[in-house]
Amino acid sequence: MGRMLSALSDRALELGPARFAEQTGNWRAEIDDDYIYWLILDCPGKSVNTIDRGVLEELGHHVDHIIDKKPSAVVIRSAKPAGFAAGADIRQFVGATTGDITGMIKEAHLILDRLEQVQAKTIAVLHGHCLGGGLELALACDRRIAVAGASLGFPEVMLGLHPGLGGTYRSTMKADPIEAMTLMLTGKSISARRAKSIGLVDAVCEERHVRAAVEAALYGDIGREPDLKTKAFSLKPARSFAARQMRKKTKEKAPKAQYPAPYDLIDLWEEHGGSRSSMQKAEMESFAKLIETDTSRNLVRVFFLREKMRGLRSGKSGVSHVHVIGAGAMGGEIAAWAAKQGFRVTLADVALKPMGRAIKAASKMLQATLKDSIKVRDALDRLIPDVDGLGASHADIVIEAVPEKLDLKRKIYADIEPKLKDGAILATNTSALPLNDLAEGLSDPSRFVGLHFFNPVSRMQLIEIVSHDRVAPETAQRATDFAVELSRLPTPVKSAPGFLVNRALVPYMSEAILMVDEGIPKERIDHRAEEFGMPMGPVELSDQVGLDIALDVATSLAERLDQPFPRTPEWLPKMVEEGKLGRKTGGGLYEFGPDGKPKKKPVDALKDDTKDDPDLLDRLILPMLNAVVACLREGVIEDEDMADGAMIFGTGFAPFRGGPIHYARTRGIDEIVAKLEKLKEKHGPRFTPDAGWEQLKTAEQKAA
């Protein structure tokens, strides 16, 4: 065993081709002197392994060899530094017929069942990412060893699905069933040690100790027998009790009409969890049904939108040191997030008080996101308070995040630009000011670019990369590369009032405030928006953003855009003057409790005439679509997919609807234009359909 076990001693390439037979496909294999069958997954031309039909068919051939050769053991692992496998390749399902999908699933189950039934002990060694189909493959093995630092999970629910390669029954029968169900219902990943604690893996070790762990697995020294909890949930009464709790929690975050997959998973486990064969059959049927739902198709579309946005990266940005000017809410979060992602960060401000608040907030955010005291410590070590602003002359990128005042920003640029080192980028986080105006006075505007982050930076995935007339293409590209290195999704936009996201979001929020002025209960407005799929209603969103900011941005857009905007109620500026700004002051349109949540009346308790008003939702959503179409027509953004991605990841626009333009095409452009015309007649010219709708329709006809 020694020669082959030494292959596991160092990931840096003890797993290289020199130690294995020639690779002809996705796998390479060799039987060592101790008659152990080593099976290494290494999908050619990919940085990560994915589980597709070809991988599984080849695995089936290896299972044939294993059955024929009768080795003493089988060890399966990955040669990819990134991890074991990133999950199933969902591209194989795009455009496939129901028969094709059903056939693929059945074939995959047969192969994994045969792997599970071989006489030799099978051991999966997992490092890095082990997700979805990769984890399902590992669960078909007798034992699982996780290398410290590995992350495991079932992200299928994010695609409107649940595991479909045996994960639903193998995980709930081999691990703590409640914990396994929680993993599948949330789509979240867990650490190797957490996976060990719930029985999903049998051992966790450092890479240098993998050989000892494999030996322990071979000789039966590791493993988990079903405990009393697992046995209890083999009985339906126990599953039914737990299922009721799961449905209740799921309903709080995902309505069944919009996201059926988690409910189908709960039903499947409750009804069939006591029988492996019954659950396997039900899993395959449920998966095949879900993958053809509009929800799944649109969430798969969102997955590809994310990949397309990440694909804008062309190489390394060359950024290692980030200097942030302004330790307010946005500047502090930008600095903290950059430090979390491994950059050296200096944070400057003219006052010490905001600096202290920023470091305190950074510590809180890092603890919540990293959940590891050593990683938090290391990130905070990289975040350096810089009262004198000395970091500006050493930074590869300087990000200005001060209040939205043109003169203030220009003054900062005049001071900073002479200090910048050669090749450094100067970026602004402005959300509204024209970059051409900001660039006036710069000696080298070619290295000036907009990096518009969204609040809170730790949760909002989008960064708008804002160009202007004199920015150098290489500056915009490096800014795009940097955004991806921050684990964020870049969207290129041209400098224009509100750019894309705020241009579309402000009419949505402003119309809601006008509805409140009309006497429509704010809870009703928010409820209808959330029913549509928005993560938060527009009234609550206004309070979260801050009524002062919402009013300022709306006023600025109304002044700079040559189009009508919703009327601003007289009471809104008065509320701002009185300091009733929303969540940050404890009250605005809603009153907020100590927990930071708005105090809302139950929707069912409201009495008004708008409950069945067919115009209410369209008054909120269609102006948003109209603005996105206008941005496409004006060239603020050039790509429909990018526009959809930006709105999903920047505003939370109902992901299961595939984005605003996709939603418009699905609903029908003619229908939307006709509805806008009706709203225009009833409520005024702010609902005038943009001329870009005709362009979209023409493009649609040409494509047909």
Long-range contacts of 366-369 (CB under 8 A, 24+ apart): 366/336, 366/339, 366/340, 368/458, 369/340, 369/458
CB burial string 611-624: b at 16+ within 10 A, e below:
eeeeebebbbbbbb
Determine the 3-state secondary structure of 467 from DSSP: strand
156 carries an active-site annotation: yes
Q: To 10 degrees, the CA torsion angle through 207, 208, 211, 212?
A: -110
> What distance in Å separates the CA atoms of residue 594 and residue 308, rounded to the nearest whole number?
41
Q: How far is CA 388 from CA 323, 337, 350, 392, 559, in A?
A: 12, 22, 8, 10, 38
| Contact by Cβ (8 Å): 41, 76 | yes
One DSSP character per residue, 260-324 reads -HHHHHHHHHHHHTT-HHHHHHHHHHHHHHHTTSHHHHHHHHHHHHHHHHHTT--S-----EEEE
> Beta partners for 582?
587
CA atoms of 134 and 165, how far apart (whole Å): 10
Q: What secondary structure letter does DSSP report for 88? A: B
Give the whole-angstrom CA distance, residue 663 versus residue 657.
Answer: 6
- 8 A C-beta contact, residue 348 and residue 392: yes
Longest dimension (CA), the chain: 85
136 is catalytic: yes
Give the pair of three-digit tokens for residue 652.
Answer: 């939370």
Distance of CA 320 to the CA centre of its chain: 24
343 within 8 A of 319, measured Cβ to Cβ: yes
Q: Based on C-alpha coordinates, what's the Rg of the chain?
A: 28
Within a 10 A sphere around the Cβ of 103, how many other Cβ atoms? 14
Can you tell me the distance from the alpha carbon of 695 to that of 693, in angstroms, rounded to the nearest whole number? Answer: 5
Buried b (16+ CB within 10 A) or exposed e, 424-453: bbbbbbbbbbbbeebbeebeebebbbbbbb
Q: Give, for 28, the enclosing helix (H) or strand (E).
A: strand 27-31
Q: How far apart are CA 517 and CA 542, in angstroms?
A: 14
Strand partners, 479: none
Other CB atoms within a 10 A radius of the CB of residue 504 amount to 26
Total residues belonging to the chain: 704
Active-site position among 136, 179, 270, 523:
136
Burial class (CB within 10 angstroms; exposed 0-12, middle 13-18, buried 19+) of 257: exposed
Q: Which of 14, 30, 116, 156 is catalytic?
A: 156
**Alpha carbon of residue 456 to chain centroid:** 14
In a 13 Å sphere around the CA of 604, the CA atoms on its Cβ side amount to: 0
Which of the residues are catalytic? 136, 156
